[in-house]
Amino acid sequence: MVFLFAVVGSALAWGLYKGFDFFAGDRNKLQGLWAKGDYPGAYAFGKEALQKRPLDPFTLTVFGFASYQLAGAQITAREVGVYLDDCIWALRKVIIQSSLSVDPRLYYVLGKAYYHKGPLYADLAVTYLEKARKAGFTAEDLAEYLGLSYAGIRDYRNSVVAFSQALEVTAKNPSDLLLLAIAKSYLALSEKDSAKAYLMRCIDSSRDAKIIVQARLLLGTLLASQGDSSGAEAQYTAVIAMDDQNADAHFQLGELYNSAGDPIKARSEWRKTVKIDPTYGPARARLSL
């Protein structure tokens, strides 16, 4: 959070330079709330202050950053969306007012906010994250967010480039999510050998059962497409050993058995699939044949 304190200071300096007549008491109170990590307090006080001074860049910046912090602490998607919208609204106002230059850290937080808004905003996430990068800003997660955002607009080549840069930053201990994301981009590019390598690396290094299940399912499908039925079967059975209620693993295992000429075992797996998830369309279609 060090950079956020720095950018708040930058906003203050920028506002004074532009000749804004801040109320010293309001400014000091807002700074104090932020410095204590009281994001709800900074958000509430900032919102109130903006009623009086809606174009004040310092207040907008603190309000925007507090909104971003609060978004990450919410439970429901609706609540997250409210705070992200407030963040985006505030930071865009600061950027629009800046006729000469914009602190790239504003672009960085704005880009991340757009990413968290969802896939429909991935193009805007790319736009602002790239602005931050091209302005020389660096952060440990910048390249990873860029990779995820590029994947969101299906620009998988640039996604892989960004992910590779992220991997350099975390070379000693890359996250399992990063390894899985890289594998997915390689799969989208039909670069199966590279995808396989990252999926196996993800499986070997992850301690998160959900991530391992995702990686094994993808690896199983990849191996099946390459004609390695035994390898694919091993991945699906490994998933079932971890979670015997995984409908996808049972269905894909049924597909393997069916391709191998064993319809009895195949239908058994498809029935298990439908028992787990009665709405699983592909399995129901198979059983209706």
73-124 tens-digit pLDDT? 999 999 999 999 999 999 999 999 876 688 899 999 999 999 999 999 999 9
Beta strands in the chain (DSSP E): none
Domain membership of residue 197 (yes or no) is no
More confident residue, 22 or 132: 132
Does residue 86 form part of some domain?
A: yes
Are the C-beta atoms of 219 and 235 separated by less than 8 Å?
yes
- Say if 77 falls within a structural domain: yes
CA distance 250 to 29: 58
Rounded Cα distance, 115 and 95, in Å: 18
Domain count, the chain: 1
pTM for the model: 0.83
pLDDT at position 98, please?
78
> Do 87 and 64 contact (CB within 8 A), yes or no?
yes
Sequence-distant (6+) residues with CB within 8 A of 37 are 1
Q: Please say if the pLDDT value at position 8 is more than 70.
A: no
Determine, yes or no, domain membership for 196: no
- Domain extent, residue 21, equals 1-100
Cα 177 from chain centroid (whole Å): 9
Residue 1, helix vs strand vs coil: coil
- Grouping H, G, I as helix, E, B as strand and the rest as coil, residue 69 is helix
DSSP element (H, E) containing 170 = none
Q: What is the pLDDT of residues 162-187, one digit of tens each?
A: 999 999 887 778 899 999 999 999 99
Longest dimension (CA), the chain: 80
